[in-house]
Amino acid sequence: MSELTERLRAILESPAYRLAFEDEDLLQQDDLRPMRLQLELLKPERAPSRRPGTRGRSYADTAPA
């Protein structure tokens, strides 16, 4: 393997090139806790829109006028 190929492989295997949702080290950082909580709160709201044949509803759809 050439030196250039080895360097390229090392770069691509670097943690910086991992996708964010696959990067456990990134997701577990303390300063990203608010982002994780925000995602947890968003999950139930998004779940109905993922089921085939259903329409997602938002708070605006259910709030009294």
The pLDDT tens digits along the chain (65 residues) read 799 999 999 999 998 888 998 999 999 999 999 999 999 999 988 887 666 665 555 556 666 65
- Does residue 11 fall inside a structural domain? yes
- 25, 12 in Cβ contact below 8 A? no
Give the closest residue to 36 by CA, choosing from 49, 47, 23, 48.
Answer: 23
- Kindly state whether residue 61 falls inside one of the protein's structural domains: no
Within a domain: 57: no
Residue 60 included in any domain: no
**Encoded tokens for 21:** 């949702």
Q: Which domain holds residue 13?
A: 1-42
Q: Distance between the two ends of the chain, CA-based, in angstroms? A: 68
The reply to whether 6 falls in a domain is: yes
Residue 9: predicted pLDDT = 93
Residue 18 resides in a domain:
yes
What's the pTM?
0.51
Domain count of the chain? 1
